């Protein structure tokens, strides 16, 4: 989808301190998440301790940015003028291959989005911030 909205109109995300490495990596178009050095589980959203075992041994690792749609909902009326400018648009949870869920925009025509659909990340600049959105993986194409 093309976006003709002025970039400075986009509301900016609220950046929690624990997630600062996530936002910095996005600026370089890298999707990252935390993985526990003790139980090896993916941890997301960002924490200062593992939500599975309580360990403080968390490391930031790069995600391949590939997964499937877990749930989705289409917004018909945007909450602000910039969002209204791209409505209708679809948001939802993507289950990443690395074992965590990300709430995100699914940048496809709303009536084509399905649970279980294979998607991969792409990056969009909105205001000062680069954000991940997900789009369908074309059949027969590498994710």
Q: For Zn ion, give the closer residue by CB, 19 or 50.
A: 50
Residue with tokens 């403080």: 56
Query: Which DSSP helix (H) or strand (E) runs through 105?
Result: strand 101-106
Q: For Zn ion, give the closer residue by CB, 52 or 62.
A: 52
Please state the closest distance from residue 81 (CB atom) to Zn ion, in A.
Answer: 43
d(CA 104, CA 71): 10
User: Where do contacts with Zn ion occur on this chain (CB under 5 A)?
Assistant: 36, 38-39, 50, 52-53, 55
Asked if 43 contacts 35 with a C-beta cutoff of 8 angstroms, the reply is yes
Q: For Zn ion, give the closer residue by CB, 59 or 76.
A: 59
Please state the closest distance from residue 41 (CB atom) to Zn ion, in A.
Answer: 5
3-state secondary structure of 100: coil
Q: Which spans in the chain are helix H?
A: 20-27, 81-86
Phi/psi of residue 113, nearest 5 degrees: -80, 130
Please state the closest distance from residue 55 (CB atom) to Zn ion, in A.
Answer: 4
Q: For Zn ion, give the closer residue by CB, 41 or 68.
A: 41
Strand partners, 93: 71, 103
Please state the closest distance from residue 40 (CB atom) to Zn ion, in A.
Answer: 7
């Amino acid at each position: 989808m093309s976006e003709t909205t002025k970039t400075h109109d986009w509301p900016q995300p609220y950046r929690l301190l624990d997630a600062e490495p996530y936002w910095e990596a996005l600026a370089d178009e890298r999707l990252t998440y935390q993985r526990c050095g003790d139980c090896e589980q993916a941890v997301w959203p960002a924490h200062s301790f593992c939500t599975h075992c309580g360990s403080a041994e968390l490391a930031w690792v790069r995600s391949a940015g590939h997964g499937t749609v877990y749930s989705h909902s289409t917004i018909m009326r945007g909450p602000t003028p910039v969002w209204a400018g791209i409505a209708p648009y679809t948001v939802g949870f993507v289950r990443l291959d690395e074992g965590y869920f990300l709430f995100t925009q699914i940048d496809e025509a709303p009536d084509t989005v399905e649970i279980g659909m294979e998607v991969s990340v792409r990056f969009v600049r909105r205001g000062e911030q680069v954000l991940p959105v997900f789009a369908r993986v074309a059949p027969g194409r590498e994710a």
